[in-house]
A and B are shown apart, each in its own frame.
Chain A
């Protein structure tokens, strides 16, 4: 445990925000560097804070957490953004993921699990549930490959994604492919990255069209 994971929290609910911040600060190996009550504040100041992980509420008062991620990510590509949400709203979660988030956490998780998830994300893992995987599959079908290899999924990545979409657990997928769960996680992260690239390209294309 060399360096604590620097965490920033963005949530408009003051109690929740302070509670989470307190939890994180109290936990060993974590430090909460900053809390923001709005996306606008966060965009202005987060690049100076340089946290490792940002916990971002989806429903913020003004600008939404998804938009916030979309703007922050290009400025600080190395930061991991974890979306915080009360409910498993697939649509919103997926939007956040395409905007650049690395994962999502339900607020109802027990604090211990919350910390565990933050650590996992920081270590490069990106959790992907079946509904999200299915969304990803759909999205990649809707946006066909444009000859850019960076955006095309490799065979293995596609196999992982298909497995997830069919509801298989990481372990099942790892067994089937004969790889470790860690490798599966790597594949998932790469899928996310490609999803980001894909959505960014799409955004640029949209911008150019307009």
Chain B
């Protein structure tokens, strides 16, 4: 109870119309349960005296009070102050009117006329002179003229130009209390001295007889309803001018003199709401005045203005009592106000007369109607005043109550019968009781037996039927005879003609208890388990669904369908609705289906009793009852299902760096929020705050929001109920802020508010600036690189030039040797040979000439070697190897030595410097010479190979060999090197190779030939 009264610290009172009146009247329209809520100064209302309430087209509710004007969005009151606002200087608002241009006109008492436009409240000053300080009433006609009722006459504002009508123009009195524009275009003017109409600029008096007993008649206003009826109202009378009906409901009683009808408002269903001073609020429907009285607390008796919003809530402006909302609801949790304790309810049973019995956990039985329940406390029913498990009522209102441990009770006309095991009951723990159409009672017990009582005669059936010995938790009599029966741990049976048939086995039901059974009008069986599994049995076919509404599996406590074929599921602390279309889809095997949350308990579920049957029932007047863990919930579907329109989502304010943008008025925000026009933000934006609202007046506090900044957020971000979003520094770019509202039960409404803006790139970050940086950077890098590479290239070029010059020089030398020396030497040799042939007999001269020829040929050969060594064309390993091989062949050609050569093919294309070539060649020559001359070898084998990092030539001979001590050899080599002179033979050979980074290895023993290995490094690897 405290829970309901104290939501959000605001006063919340439930009230409804006197049921007796309603039942007697049976009008076309029955106002549903109304929930009242009051806002006053403590919640931000400027003043507790509310003089006018108006919902503008954008959806806001404007509240005019004696202490100023406020804009209300369901949650916050935004005070709209006059520009020169000072304490004690606020406006006393008397009238509100929205014109065609969505400007709001505000009439005040003593403050003149004001206009709220584009976020600004400005005083209206007529183009010719000032208007009256006090405005009683404002109305706009179809031509856009504004009509003002003032104490000094009627004023017409045509394009802001005022024209005044007074007694001179034919008004009955200068004091105009009300102006009303009828749909016909007629202006109805109510003055202190009577009513008149203004047609075609002519004032026509409209006299009628008021009915004001004991007082001076007061004319307060004329109101036209949607049916075209004109209602004139004043003090206590209400006159239907169209039909000429005089009604004076308030004329009697003691308070008559202070009673005054202030305002009329037609509701959505054609009912006329009447706000009065002294008698509070009335509903006039079908020619009957229904007072809105309170069960608890009090509704102020002074209602000055009325307004029905688009969601069907009625707003009351009261004098001194704040702003009051009366909200129709068709679902209600029965609580202390209905006389029920705050305990889980476990079972419910109804009779056809609208009487309801509710089983309360450890609280016994309560009986009553939807409005009031009484504890079943008659002395004879004492045993069932505490612990019960199941309840059933027969058509003749005989009550059957099962208990968990003391058997079964029957209450009939204050008589109580008790059935226990002594009377043949199989177990005193009764889990389920049900009454069928014939009046037979079916009883399921914990021992697993099924009993039937016909005419108070008990018969045990279970064992005979062959049911397993498991507790029977649920029994539902079928419309087609027989019963459905559910056992603990699953297993649905159909018992018919003394035969039990297993319909669904335990596995089909997930091994959980059946907690809900319902047979719909089509004969289909709906089934729910404590594990949240829903099953539909249609003929022999069944389908199953596992329900999960985001809180994991919850027990299905009740299943019902209404007259429209919608399915209602009580699950956990909530009630879900599955539309008729979805239901037929389900029946044809559709999966999944969509369910809408219709009621969600605010409280956390209490401890869940494991027993209780049945948990749901549908009354004859189409009320659905659910015994849930949080209490009993009643759905009144007689007036149809109330559906709320999607709340308009509005952007209210944009704060940039903590302050509103100077260039941005509400109108530009509104423009940005409804077009592609983008608002320019400062480049140095570091904080952006967007305030928005969703205009939902039914469940404003539970309205949730989610937002998304296109260009920044990748997905919707949920806000909860917060109505503000803040962003920090955002990168330059174009953005669209979107915000959507959602209902408490999780539906997001498709209409979103959006706001386009862009953050310009600061000049130092603009593309041309970045391009400049890039260019400068690139130029710097290029400059440095150029400098470095130039220097490097120049050095390289110089080195290459030097190298090329050297090569050219070498080629020239080779060429010169070839051309000059070579050919001349050739000539010498030929000339000598020729001379010999011409000598004829001078042997001594001939020998000398022959010597010249031989010498010159030898010289040519030496020259050949030099040329080869000098020529840079030969600077490759391939050429070197080939040349050495060729040389060996040539050298040994004319000797008796057998030469064996092994030159590997495919030698790597490694450059060999002229120096290396030359030295290797000379060492090779030396070693061949040694083998031939000193070793006297008859066989020489030369093999060449590439070794890691170098090239090796191995010369083997079979000559006489020599004694060789490597250590001593090293010493000699070192000594020669120290003396910086060339030795001879082996030392020389070794020295030559050392000079080019190579080495010479000698193995020899006297008489066993010699082995010489010459190694030179190749490529970059200078070390062998």
Contact = CB atoms under 8 A, between A and B. Distances in A.
B343 interface: no
B901 A108 contact: no
Interface in B793-833: 818-819, 822-823, 825-827, 829-831, 833
A130 B889 contact: yes
Interface residues of A, number: 35
Interface stretch (A66-74, A83-91, A179-187, A194-202): A83-91
A151 to B, nearest CB: 20
A13 B833 contact: no
Contacts of B885: 130-131, 167
A143 interface: no
B29 interface: no
A108 B826 contact: yes
A23 B868 contact: no
A168 interface: yes
A42 to B, nearest CB: 19
Q: Interface SS of chain A: helix, strand, loop or mixed? A: helix
B826 A167 contact: no
B113 interface: no
A40 to B, nearest CB: 20
A172 to B, nearest CB: 7
Interface stretch (B520-528, B689-697, B902-910, B917-925): B902-910
Nearest to B826: A107
Interface string A133-163: 0110110000000000000000000000010
Nearest to A12: B823
Nearest to A22: B834
A129 to B, nearest CB: 5
A60 to B, nearest CB: 12
Contacts of A165: 903, 905
A89 B830 CA distance: 21
Interface in B304-358: none
Contacts of B903: 130, 134, 165-167
A111 B822 contact: no
Interface stretch (B11-19, B230-238, B856-864, B966-974): B856-864
Contacts of A138: 878
Given A86-B818, A108-B857, A169-B899, A129 B889 contact: yes
Contacts of B135: none
Contact of A86 (B834, B860, B868): B860
A167 B830 contact: no
B837 interface: yes
A91 B879 CA distance: 10
A15 interface: yes
Interface in B102-146: none
Contact of B882 (A16, A87, A108, A131): A131
B418 interface: no
Nearest to B822: A86
Contacts of B883: 90, 131
A131 B873 contact: no
A169 B889 CA distance: 8
B593 to A, nearest CB: 76
Contact of A87 (B834, B864, B886, B902): B864
Contacts of B560: none
Given A13-B823, A23-B833, A166 B902 contact: yes
A168 B899 CA distance: 8
Contacts of A89: 818, 871
Contacts of B864: 86-88, 106, 108
B73 interface: no
Contacts of B181: none
B857 A110 contact: yes
A23 B889 contact: no
A19 interface: yes
Contacts of B901: 130, 166-169
B868 A19 contact: no
A118 interface: no
Contacts of B873: 91
A86 B830 contact: no
A87 B833 contact: no
Contact of B861 (A91, A108, A129, A162): A108
A59 B873 CA distance: 17
B878 A134 contact: yes
B827 A15 contact: yes
A26 to B, nearest CB: 7
A167 B892 CA distance: 13
A25 to B, nearest CB: 11
A8 interface: no
B627 interface: no
B867 interface: yes
Nearest to A137: B905
A20 interface: yes
Contacts of A59: 818-819
B905 to A, nearest CB: 5
Interface string B552-579: 0000000000000000000000000000
A134 B900 CA distance: 17
Contacts of B863: 87
A127 to B, nearest CB: 11
B942 interface: yes
B888 interface: yes
A171 B1018 CA distance: 33
A167 B861 contact: no
A64 B899 CA distance: 36
B278 to A, nearest CB: 119
Contacts of A129: 886, 889
Contacts of A90: 879, 882-883
A16 B905 contact: no
A128 B140 CA distance: 123
Contacts of B867: 87
Interface in B864-899: 864, 867-868, 871, 873, 878-879, 882-883, 885-886, 888-889, 899
Interface string B56-88: 000000000000000000000000000000000
A15 B879 contact: no
Contacts of A131: 879, 882-883, 885-886
A16 B864 CA distance: 19
B866 to A, nearest CB: 10
Contact of B829 (A87, A108, A168): A108
Contact of A162 (B825, B856, B879, B905): B905
A13 B827 contact: yes
Contact of B886 (A23, A26, A88): A88
Nearest to B859: A108
A23 B863 CA distance: 25
Contacts of A107: 822-823, 826, 830, 860
Contacts of A134: 878, 882, 903, 905
A130 B868 contact: no
A210 B880 CA distance: 36
Nearest to A107: B826
Contacts of A106: 860, 864
12 contacts: A16-B830, A89-B818, A107-B822, A110-B857, A130-B901, A134-B878, A134-B905, A167-B886, A167-B889, A167-B901, A167-B903, A169-B889
Given A15-B827, A23-B830, A26-B837, 18 more contacts: A15-B830, A16-B826, A19-B830, A19-B833, A86-B818, A86-B864, A89-B818, A107-B826, A108-B829, A108-B857, A108-B861, A109-B857, A111-B833, A134-B903, A165-B903, A167-B901, A167-B902, A168-B900
Interface pairs A-B: 4 shortest CB-CB? A167-B901, A131-B882, A86-B822, A167-B885
Interface of A: 13, 15-16, 19-20, 22-23, 26, 59, 86-91, 106-111, 129-131, 134-135, 137-138, 162, 165-169, 172
